[in-house]
Amino acid sequence: MKETLKIMDLHVEVEGKEIIRGLDLVIKEGEVHAIMGPNGSGKSSLSHTIMGHPNYRVTSGDIFFKGESILGLSTDERARMGIFLSFQYPVAISGVSLYSLLRRMWNKDSPLVERVDNLAKSLLLKEEILYRSINDGLSGGEKKKSEIIQMAVKDPEFIILDEIDSGLDIDSLMAVSEFIKSEKDRGKTFLLITHYRRILDHVEPDLVHVMVDGKIVKTGGKELVKELEKEGYRVFGGNNEKVSFAGRHL
């Protein structure tokens, strides 16, 4: 399989403080990778760096997307190449409906209304939310499902989901998981950032990475999640935080 994303010895600073310290990562086409780690380990910072957030300054190393370095590209250029980031904390945009945004993103010949309606039903999202201001007054779970619909309409090749499972009830989690699996079957590539085992029970990742103190300290299969459940992050040099697997810290 071809490499979709390749990160080599990445070092990143924010306001003069190094937050990613020599990170290496390779994700091949059609794979699902999960990153887990204690709070403050740099997981979300990694996602913002991949997407090109201007506050995150790469001091050394490189990021390649389909064999091309993207460090010199702006966020919108990376998005047009086929990279998508679902935010950990989606913002509200007053005065712009979700459907209006989706209409601007749509570039297919098939009807948008039918596609969006089907997506909303499969994700258990109320139809009225499509015509309200983006994320305005929505619950955490509704915001995450709105992000998934935006992703589906944009139809990117590489998808970063930063704690997409946060705020989802059981039925919604299963619906989102089924959608991720269907997109993987279409050849999409995913990077899931999560604190929870529950989504990984539904979307079995090809590889799980443990990130501590700005670096990936261990990589393994789904059995690694069981090790984390038993020992927490302490065995990998992290703090004493136990892994949150059932919506609470153990």
pLDDT at 242: 46
111-138: average pLDDT = 90
**pLDDT tens sequence across 145-197:** 999 999 999 999 999 999 998 888 899 999 999 999 999 999 999 999 998 78
Given a contact cutoff of 8 angstroms between Cβ atoms, the answer to whether 210 and 23 are in contact is no
The band of 239, judged by pLDDT with boundaries at 50, 70 and 90, is low
Separation between Cα atoms, residue 232 and residue 250, nearest integer Å: 9
Given a contact cutoff of 8 angstroms between Cβ atoms, the answer to whether 116 and 153 are in contact is yes
pLDDT at 68 over 60: yes
pLDDT at 233: 84
pLDDT at 48: 96
pLDDT at 42 over 90: yes
**pLDDT tens sequence across 221-234:** 988 988 888 888 88
Structure tokens at 206: 């090809």
Which residues does 230 contact at the CB level (< 8 Å), separation at least 6? none
pLDDT at 114: 86
Task: Report in angstroms the alpha-carbon separations of 177 from 103, 137, 198, 215.
Answer: 25, 24, 10, 27
Domains of the chain, residue spans: 3-89+157-236
User: What mean pLDDT is reported for the chain?
Assistant: 90
Separation between Cα atoms, residue 244 and residue 232, nearest integer Å: 9
The band of 244, judged by pLDDT with boundaries at 50, 70 and 90, is very low
Look up the CATH superfamily of 3-89+157-236: P-loop containing nucleotide triphosphate hydrolases (3.40.50.300)
Structure tokens at 80: 């047009």
pLDDT at 104: 86
The band of 80, judged by pLDDT with boundaries at 50, 70 and 90, is very high
Q: What is the DSSP code (8-state) at residue 15? A: T
